[in-house]
Amino acid sequence: MNRKTLALVALAVVVGATSAYAQTRAFQNMGAGKAMDVSADGTLVGGNDGSGGYVAKLGAKTVYGGSVAGVEYVGGVATAAGTSGGAASTGQGGSWTALPQVGGTTAWVPTGIGAGASDWWVSGTGGGAACLYTNSAGTTADVGTTDPYNDGSRTTEVSNTGKYSGAAHYTTNSWNAIHGAPSTWLSADAGVGPSVESEAYSISSDGQVKVGWGWASDGGWTATYWDNADGNVPHLLPQFRSTIDDYWWTEATACNGDGSFIGALSIPSSMQEVAWVWDATNGRRSLDSWLVNEMGVSSAEIAGWTFEQITGISDDGLSMCGWGLYNGVETGWAYSVVPEPATMMLLGLGGLLLRRRR
């Protein structure tokens, strides 16, 4: 067998093995508390349990104390955003580092973290105003400029491009969705105004799609998304209308990297929250049915769970986290689909064979 044939045979073995053993799928109970965020690649989960804030990498927890709101890789290092000792901070390796105050004087609370190739950001709220830390500038700025009453705004999450989602007071009693930068109003289905409320809770990793809730023109707080591609026209999620089911409230809470796969919740008249996933092709599915019927989780693995919220989704839509009731106790959960170490070794072998062939 000549070298060319040997290389091709070996590569075929690698490809076959990779296809068979490419991914590890795992559903995890993250302990009493709430899982708050998942990294873009799905390998990190950030949240809070009885010991305080934590970052879990492929299931192994590093405890930080304080509280964790978001998690992402910054320069290849697992990084948390949260609070420690009452100060807005980022954490790496179990230790916190304080971030600058808003305008150098105002304390604030982080809500998310995003990181690109050359910069990274932390979103939050300080002194009742939306704010954003930009690492390249080394400052935390008030970005709540859309708030005409200057009495309340917030950023809820920041993408890996530095764009953010949030809400601001349109009047003293009405929250309306915003996005930025710079901060700009997002319309609800019923418009924008003192009697029309909305909020953008989350933003896709690419910064294009915002998800949240808005007041529908025919009544009811309804899960909504906005897409830069069509001018941010508000889209009500089908099957989440109060006019269709016994819903008092529905909202979209998280989305994947391009906003095509959305996590949502509904609150019926019983007031028991129910977590869902939605995409345009398959419509809505309850989280538990999606896990069992589409992702291969056994019914035994999720016995005792009532899933309430999805708080983070990876770019590919295959890993996510949130919280719910586990045997009646508020508990964080995570589901991940990640490459196995053996798969990475096989892929490396394939690359070596190809280099030798050349």
pLDDT score of 194 = 66
Residue that wins the pLDDT comparison between 285 and 150: 285
pLDDT score of 357 = 33
Neighbours of 356 (CB within 10 A): 11
Q: Quote the CA–CA distance of 306 and 298 in Å, as a whole number.
A: 15
Domain 24-338 fold: Methylamine Dehydrogenase; Chain H (2.130.10)
Mean pLDDT score of the chain, rounded to an integer? 87
- Does residue 181 sit in helix, strand or coil? coil
Q: Quote the CA–CA distance of 143 and 94 in Å, as a whole number.
A: 30
Each residue of 289-344: pLDDT tens digit? Answer: 999 999 999 999 999 999 999 999 999 999 999 999 999 999 999 999 976 654 44
pTM for the predicted model, two decimal places: 0.88
> For residue 257, what pLDDT band results from cuts at 50, 70 and 90?
very high
Which range among 93-97, 118-122, 244-248 shows the weakest confidence by mean pLDDT? 244-248
> For residue 169, what pLDDT band results from cuts at 50, 70 and 90?
confident
For the chain, the structural domain boundaries read 1-22+340-358, 24-338
First to last CA, the chain: 17
